[in-house]
Structure 1
Amino acid sequence: MNDDSSAGAALRKRLYWHSRRGMWELDLLLIPFLEQRYDDLGESDQAAYRDLITEEDQDLFAWLMRREWPEEPTRRRIVQMIVEHAETTDNDHYRTL
Structure 2
Amino acid sequence: MSERSRLRWRCRRGMRELDLLLEHFLDNGYAALDTAQREAFETLLACQDDTLFGWFYQGEEPDNAELAGLVERIRSNFGLSR
Q: TM-score by structure 2 length?
A: 0.89
Q: Which runs of 5+ in 2 are unaligned?
A: none
Question: 2:36 maps to what in 1?
Answer: 44
Question: Once the two structures are superposed, what CA deviation does each residue of 1:55-89 show, in whole Å capped at 9, x if it has no partner?
Answer: 000000000114311011011011011001111xx
Structure 1 match to 2:25:
33
Q: Give the number of the structure with larger relative contact order, counting CA–CA contacts within 8 Å between residues 6 or more apart.
A: 2
Mapped to 2, the partners of 1:45 and 1:66 lie a distance apart of 23
Which residue is equivalent to 1:20?
A: 12
**RMSD between superposed Cα atoms in Å:** 1.7
Q: Which amino acid aligns with 1:72?
A: N
Shift >3 Å, 4+ stretches: none
Identical-pair percentage: 35
Alignment of 1:1-97 (within 5 A): 10-87=2-79
Aligned residues: 81
Deviations 1:36-67 (A, max 9, x none): 11111111111111110000000000001143
TM score, norm. by length of structure 1 = 0.77
Relative distance call for 1:20 and 1:53 in structure 2 (3 A) is same
Match of 1:3 in 2: none
Deviation readout 1:14-56 (Å, 9 max, x if unpaired): 1000001131110121001001111111111111111100000
> Which 10-residue stretch deviates more, 49-58 or 65-74?
65-74
1:90 counterpart residue number: none
